[in-house]
A = this chain, B = another copy of it.
């Protein structure tokens, strides 16, 4: 039996798997719940634990990075080769709150292995997916005989992702120089399923506003005045209803400007995913599909921009009735954006459109929260091809593609680092992120280790820095 590079990686992992899992279990025992102020010490302990472990792995630089909130971890291991690309891996070491009383079968911060699964808060989101890089990197070195990774490797492991990353933007802007990279890899997403390994190629962006509508100076009697003055609750409804046309496209002029359309190849590959609409509806806890004409459900949530009313309120909402024309009404509306849409132009288009929709006698204010840019890697991007090859060697199966419908802080990295964002993750929908009984599938975790072990070499070999260079 010839020793292929892959078989070397596999036997290295076999040898070190037990220690790797024991270490991960140690980390999972630290309840680094960023949302709980009482756990701030644990979040710090988690950061310090990781720094020590990264030093042990071989990183010459590994440090706790203070933010204005809870600490992040940064590590760096230069390749030593002039032409090597620089890769920044993003993940987070904080976790969602969890308590056995919420309905867990086991103690969430006492990792337990049952069959092929490791149960603990953070097992998949995101400690497991951060940690596979440590053994992956060691396997990469072992299999290649190198003393440093084939790429310049940087790690940024955030400590407040589960609290909405309130200080992340400021941190990375402050540290932009040290974060400089050619590629960003996010290890905080998942795959289609246990049996259908996939690579995520993009995340939607987001614009997010509140619209406050003011009519009469106070609630007035609908018997005396109704039908003769504009009612802000009706205006709110008419505005929200006008958001979509009859094809359920967003009706704001200019909204679709620049949208990167799905390619035939992407649609073809999405269609190969074993999508079960009934099962998906159960996951969505919904009882019907509705969306933009001409697109499948997956295309709608991954690749099409949308508008959603997240909240609406106005007038009397108590028991019984109160026949008023209310003084005000309010809408919270968020827009998911896809590659090619410019968040500022979209916000301007929305602002202009809203102003043009309102009847005389209704005053309004519109306030936007910070927008998130979309990110997308084309299927023919060489770094994406490296990722697919690394995953393919680990899974020995065709790798398909997904996208992420949500919007993450990783998009901030795209802006600050100015590099494309790619995704490497092995979690699956059944892993129970943010829910009870979170787990990671141990054989998938091992595939993650393996893919990470192959990725750096493949990138060093095949990824050419853009001519304009760093």
Q: List A residues 216-230 near B (Cβ within 8 Å).
A: 216-218, 220-230
User: In this assembly, does A339 line the interface, its C-beta being within 8 Å of a C-beta of chain B?
Assistant: no
Shortest CB distance A333–B (Å): 9
If the complex has contacts A225-B284, A238-B241, A361-B288, are A313 and B310 also in contact, measured as CB distance less than 8 A? Answer: no
Let me know if B288 and A315 touch, CB within 8 A. Answer: no
Let me know if B326 and A311 touch, CB within 8 A. Answer: yes
In whole angstroms, what is the CA distance A400 to B351 when docked?
48
Interface centre among A204, A224, A237 (most CB of B within 10 A): A237
In whole angstroms, what is the CA distance A324 to B206 when docked?
13
Residues on B with beta carbons closer than 8 Å to the beta carbon of A231: 308-309
Let me know if A206 and B223 touch, CB within 8 A. Answer: yes
Chain A: residues with Cβ within 8 Å of the partner, total of 80
User: In this assembly, does A440 line the interface, its C-beta being within 8 Å of a C-beta of chain B?
Assistant: no
Let me know if B234 and A334 touch, CB within 8 A. Answer: no
Residues on B with beta carbons closer than 8 Å to the beta carbon of A330: 317
Let me know if B323 and A227 touch, CB within 8 A. Answer: no
Which listed residue (B208, B229, B313) contacts A288, Cβ 8 A? B229
If the complex has contacts A227-B336, A304-B227, A321-B369, are A362 and B313 also in contact, measured as CB distance less than 8 A? Answer: no
How many copies of the shown chain assemble into the complex?
Answer: 2
- Find the B residue at minimum CB distance from A314: B312
Q: List A residues 343-398 near B (Cβ within 8 Å).
A: 359-363, 369
In whole angstroms, what is the CA distance A316 to B218 when docked?
23
User: In this assembly, does A291 line the interface, its C-beta being within 8 Å of a C-beta of chain B?
Assistant: yes
If the complex has contacts A223-B405, A289-B229, are A312 and B216 also in contact, measured as CB distance less than 8 A? Answer: no
User: In this assembly, does A117 line the interface, its C-beta being within 8 Å of a C-beta of chain B?
Assistant: no
User: In this assembly, does A452 line the interface, its C-beta being within 8 Å of a C-beta of chain B?
Assistant: no
User: In this assembly, does A287 line the interface, its C-beta being within 8 Å of a C-beta of chain B?
Assistant: yes
Which listed residue (B204, B313, B323, B404) contacts A334, Cβ 8 A? B323
If the complex has contacts A228-B289, A237-B240, are A315 and B311 also in contact, measured as CB distance less than 8 A? Answer: yes
In whole angstroms, what is the CA distance A79 to B215 when docked?
53
Which listed residue (B239, B240, B305, B336) contacts A222, Cβ 8 A? B336
Let me know if A233 and B312 touch, CB within 8 A. Answer: yes
Shortest CB distance A163–B (Å): 13
- Find the B residue at minimum CB distance from A233: B309
Shortest CB distance A297–B (Å): 5
Let me know if B288 and A230 touch, CB within 8 A. Answer: yes
User: In this assembly, does A285 line the interface, its C-beta being within 8 Å of a C-beta of chain B?
Assistant: yes
In whole angstroms, what is the CA distance A178 to B308 when docked?
59
In whole angstroms, what is the CA distance A444 to B141 when docked?
101
Let me know if A310 and B315 touch, CB within 8 A. Answer: yes
A72-85, CB under 8 A of B: which get 1 and which 0? Answer: 00000000000000
Q: List A residues 405-452 near B (Cβ within 8 Å).
A: 405-407
User: In this assembly, does A329 line the interface, its C-beta being within 8 Å of a C-beta of chain B?
Assistant: yes
User: In this assembly, does A320 line the interface, its C-beta being within 8 Å of a C-beta of chain B?
Assistant: yes
User: In this assembly, does A290 line the interface, its C-beta being within 8 Å of a C-beta of chain B?
Assistant: yes
Residues on B with beta carbons closer than 8 Å to the beta carbon of A325: 286, 308, 310
If the complex has contacts A237-B309, A321-B208, A326-B311, are A289 and B361 also in contact, measured as CB distance less than 8 A? Answer: yes
- Find the B residue at minimum CB distance from A309: B233
Let me know if B310 and A312 touch, CB within 8 A. Answer: no
In whole angstroms, what is the CA distance A322 to B334 when docked?
9
Residues on B with beta carbons closer than 8 Å to the beta carbon of A227: 291-292, 300-301, 304-306, 308, 336, 405
Let me know if B405 and A225 touch, CB within 8 A. Answer: yes
Let me know if A315 and B332 touch, CB within 8 A. Answer: yes
If the complex has contacts A208-B321, A405-B223, are A240 and B233 also in contact, measured as CB distance less than 8 A? Answer: yes
Residues on B with beta carbons closer than 8 Å to the beta carbon of A316: 310-311, 332
If the complex has contacts A286-B216, A310-B315, are A406 and B224 also in contact, measured as CB distance less than 8 A? Answer: yes
User: In this assembly, does A176 line the interface, its C-beta being within 8 Å of a C-beta of chain B?
Assistant: no
In whole angstroms, what is the CA distance A233 to B332 when docked?
10
User: In this assembly, does A112 line the interface, its C-beta being within 8 Å of a C-beta of chain B?
Assistant: no
A-B contact pairs, 13 of them (CB 8 A): A206-B223, A216-B287, A217-B285, A224-B406, A228-B290, A230-B289, A233-B309, A237-B239, A287-B363, A290-B360, A290-B361, A316-B332, A321-B369
8 additional A-B pairs beyond A228-B284, A233-B311, A234-B308, beta carbons within 8 Å, are: A224-B405, A225-B286, A226-B301, A227-B336, A238-B240, A289-B361, A311-B322, A312-B312
Among all A-B residue pairs, the 6 with the closest Cβ atoms: A288-B361, A223-B406, A227-B306, A237-B240, A241-B241, A311-B315
